[in-house]
């Protein structure tokens, strides 16, 4: 198996990476940073997000698997002390039979500098920097609302437990083919109105955000961010591509939700 390891920049994660290399080397595993079959992350959810954006051009042939060295997240399934068991499963079971695929957010941003596309594993956001963000929001090319507030968050089902949840959005099972739109501190009074709740769009639907001209805006895709003075349009939909997670052990999403937020 060809693999690569992406680690958080701390001593514990680096030591675990060296330990993994030593365990798999006698079995013919090869480090291949260019064309890995498996991307192993050691750290937290942020480390896996970093790895995802590093390998978005290989989503159809690469699986992702995480070992967490901090608090239990939603993407890093394994504890450090389980590494020997993980290696045993990797040697005895077919990786392709353990893969599950989850939808992503397809993003296209048009600015005065041109157009650029991204994929988001968690979410993308558009926020006002100096003042309230004013924008026209269209759903499937039809005007839905004239929005005023701090910003808008568009999340994948996997990302529904992240920033979306803090905005009051719904937690969605990661297999659901859709995206969620959540308002960030919207203005609602007798003059300005918005829905005030999150919206779920199914596959083949899309949303477009048209900010008012000459606004200073912060645009983020997962942990990546940039500022823009002139954004013409932000378009989001369910991506054709999916992320492939390698689940060597049974994964129950609702148990993970309970562990993270209730227990």
The yes-or-no verdict on residue 69 having pLDDT over 80 is yes
Kindly report the number of other CB atoms within 10 A of residue 218's CB atom: 15
**Cα–Cα dist 179/106, whole Å:** 10
Span 24-28, average pLDDT: 94
The two structure tokens encoding residue 65: 């698997």
**Looking at residue 260, what is its pLDDT?**
87
In sequence order, what are the beta bridge partners of 160?
none
> Which of the following CATH numbers is that of domain 2-93+248-261: 1.10.10.10, 3.40.50.10330, 3.10.20.30, 3.30.413.10?
3.40.50.10330
Kindly report the number of other CB atoms within 10 A of residue 142's CB atom: 7
> Which of the following CATH numbers is that of domain 104-240: 3.40.190.10, 2.60.120.380, 3.40.50.300, 2.60.200.30?
2.60.200.30
Kindly report the number of other CB atoms within 10 A of residue 191's CB atom: 7
263 secondary structure, DSSP code: -
Segment 214-226, tens digit of pLDDT: 999 999 999 999 9
pLDDT band at 193 (very low <50, low <70, confident <90, very high): confident
**Cα–Cα dist 201/187, whole Å:** 22
Whole-number CA gyration radius for the chain: 20
Span 125-142, average pLDDT: 96
Domain chopping of the chain, boundaries: 2-93+248-261, 104-240
Antiparallel, parallel or unpaired: β 199-202 and 178-186: antiparallel
pLDDT band at 72 (very low <50, low <70, confident <90, very high): low
pLDDT band at 89 (very low <50, low <70, confident <90, very high): very high
6 and 47 in contact (C-beta within 8 Å)?
A: yes
Fold: same for 2-93+248-261 and 104-240: no
The two structure tokens encoding residue 200: 């779920």
Segment 197-206, tens digit of pLDDT: 999 999 999 9
The two structure tokens encoding residue 97: 């039979």
Nearest to 180 by CA among 212, 147, 203, 146: 203
Nearest to 197 by CA among 154, 155, 157, 168: 168
Nearest to 234 by CA among 106, 105, 108: 108
Q: Which helix (H) or strand (E) segment is 224 a member of?
A: strand 224-228
* Residues known to be catalytic: 45
125 secondary structure, DSSP code: E
Q: Label residues 84-99 b or e (16+ Cβ within 10 Å = b).
A: eebbeebeeeebeebe
Identify the sign of the CA torsion 201, 100, 248, 41: negative
The CA–CA distances, whole Å, from 244 to 17, 22, 152, 159, 254 equal 21, 25, 27, 15, 19
Mean pLDDT estimate for the chain: 95
**Looking at residue 227, what is its pLDDT?**
96
7 and 47 in contact (C-beta within 8 Å)?
A: yes
Confidence (pTM): 0.94
């Amino acid at each position: 198996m060809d693999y690569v390891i992406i680690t958080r920049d701390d001593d514990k994660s680096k030591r675990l990476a060296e330990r993994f290399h030593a365990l798999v080397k006698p079995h013919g595993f090869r480090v291949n940073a260019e064309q890995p079959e498996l991307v192993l992350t050691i750290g937290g959810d942020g480390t896996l997000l970093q790895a995802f954006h590093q390998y978005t051009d290989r989503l159809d042939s690469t699986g992702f698997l995480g070992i967490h060295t901090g608090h239990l997240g939603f993407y890093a399934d394994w504890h450090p002390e389980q590494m020997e068991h993980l290696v045993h499963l990797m040697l005895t079971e077919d990786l392709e039979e353990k893969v599950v695929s989850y939808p992503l957010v397809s993003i296209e941003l048009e600015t005065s500098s041109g157009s650029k596309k991204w994929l988001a594993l968690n979410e993308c956001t558009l926020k006002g920097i100096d003042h309230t963000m004013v924008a026209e929001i269209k759903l499937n090319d039809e005007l839905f609302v004239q929005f005023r507030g701090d910003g808008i968050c568009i999340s994948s089902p996997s990302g529904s437990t992240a920033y979306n949840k803090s905005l009051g959005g719904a937690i969605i099972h990661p297999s659901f083919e859709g995206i969620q739109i959540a308002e960030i501190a919207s203005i609602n009074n007798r003059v300005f109105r918005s829905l005030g709740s999150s919206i779920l769009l199914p596959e083949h639907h899309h949303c477009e955000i048209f900010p008012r001209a000459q606004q200073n805006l912060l645009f983020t895709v997962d942990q990546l961010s940039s500022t823009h003075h002139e954004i013409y349009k932000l378009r989001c939909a369910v991506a054709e591509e999916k992320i492939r997670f390698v689940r060597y052990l049974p994964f129950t999403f609702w148990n993970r939700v309970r562990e993270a937020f209730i227990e």
